[in-house]
Amino acid sequence: MDKVIIEGLQVDAMVGIYAFEHEQPQPLIIDLVMAWDNRPAAASEQISDALDYDRVSTAVAQLITSQPWQLIETVAERIAAIVLNDFKVAQVSVKVAKPQAVAAARQVAVMIERHR
């Protein structure tokens, strides 16, 4: 199966378990690897045959900004559900990174893989 990849999608979110983390948005960095058959789009050159990565990115950003979150694990699961259900992707890997979570680390992240 082919892959469509979105790397480094930055979305500001209200996320964290501490009250101070909900005082102002902080960045989450999202990476997606989606299983998708690219042959129909390559043959037709029609966006209707492709996995529209702009629409996926917009849906992910809207989800993340729609509410405050406690855990990036929950964010990852909800992203996976949207990609699988709304975009009919067969399999998705989701990485959600929180750069400001640990001062001594460049970032912390969770990565999940889900399929239909």
pLDDT tens for each residue of 69-104: 999 999 999 999 999 999 999 999 999 999 988 989
The pLDDT of residue 35 is 98
Average pLDDT over the chain reads 96
Cα(114)–Cα(17) distance, rounded to whole angstroms? 25
Q: At what angle do helices 53-65 and 72-86 cross, to 10 degrees?
A: 140
CA 111 to chain centre: 10
pLDDT in tens, 2-47: 999 999 999 999 999 999 999 999 999 999 999 999 999 999 999 9
Q: Is 3 within 8 Å of 29 (Cβ atoms)?
A: no
pTM exceeds 0.75 for this model: yes
Express as a percent the part of the chain with pLDDT over 90.
96
The one catalytic residue in 3, 88, 95, 98 is 98
Question: Own/partner pairs for 77-80, CB < 8 Å, 24+ apart?
Answer: 77/112, 77/114, 79/30, 79/32, 80/112, 80/114
pLDDT bin (cut points 50, 70, 90) of residue 50 is very high
Is 3 part of the annotated catalytic residue set?
Answer: no
pLDDT in tens, 36-49: 999 999 999 999 99
* CATH for 3-115, options being 3.40.50.300, 3.90.1150.10, 2.60.40.10, 3.30.1130.10: 3.30.1130.10
The pLDDT of residue 56 is 98
For the chain, domain boundaries: 3-115
